[in-house]
């Protein structure tokens, strides 16, 4: 049995650029991609906290250490510089792989510096 699971998440990253005329994709700081385990050209989902938009694109490597999060092409209509976004990558895992499965969760500050990491989302309380 295969199950699609959250593989990686960049939580509350800030959009630094929205480039309408650039070939579609989302450029992500290469260091952040490596930390999260997001591969270049991997399909990603982006959830815009500030306007509720949810869209799909693919990741491209941005300059390492630049803190860039650039939403490009048609998706630039869905996010603007300064918007807070959640960038997620998903993958399919077999039952055997799920035994030790843990996602890579990266929590960002307002300057796109990493403020924490985890491999589990806290239990939500009522």
Active site members: 25, 58
Is 96 annotated for ligand binding? no
Cα–Cα distance, 101 to 79 (Å, whole number): 31
Is 57 annotated for ligand binding? yes
Is 73 annotated for ligand binding? yes
Is 74 annotated for ligand binding? yes
Cα–Cα distance, 40 to 62 (Å, whole number): 10
In sequence order, the 6+-apart residues with CB closer than 8 A to the CB of 12 are 49, 84, 85, 86, 107, 108, 109
Q: List Cα–Cα distances, 58 to 28, 30, 44, in angstroms.
A: 10, 14, 5
Provide the phi-psi class of 46: left if phi over 0, else alpha when psi is between -120 and 50, else beta.
Answer: beta
Q: Which residues are annotated as a binding site?
A: 57, 73-75
Q: Which residues are annotated as a binding site for substrate?
A: 57, 73-75
């Amino acid at each position: 049995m295969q199950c699609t699971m959250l593989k990686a998440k960049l939580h509350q990253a800030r959009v630094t650029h929205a480039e309408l005329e650039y070939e579609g994709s989302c450029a992500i700081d290469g260091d952040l991609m490596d930390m999260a385990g997001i591969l270049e050209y991997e399909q990603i989902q982006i959830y815009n906290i500030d306007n509720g938009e949810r869209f799909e694109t693919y990741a491209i490597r941005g300059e390492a250490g630049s803190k860039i999060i650039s939403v490009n092409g048609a998706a630039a209509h869905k996010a603007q510089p300064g918007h807070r976004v959640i960038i997620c990558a998903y993958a399919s895992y077999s039952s055997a792989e799920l035994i030790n499965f843990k996602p890579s969760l990266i929590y960002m500050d307002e300057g796109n510096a990493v403020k924490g990491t985890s491999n589990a989302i806290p239990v939500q309380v009522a």
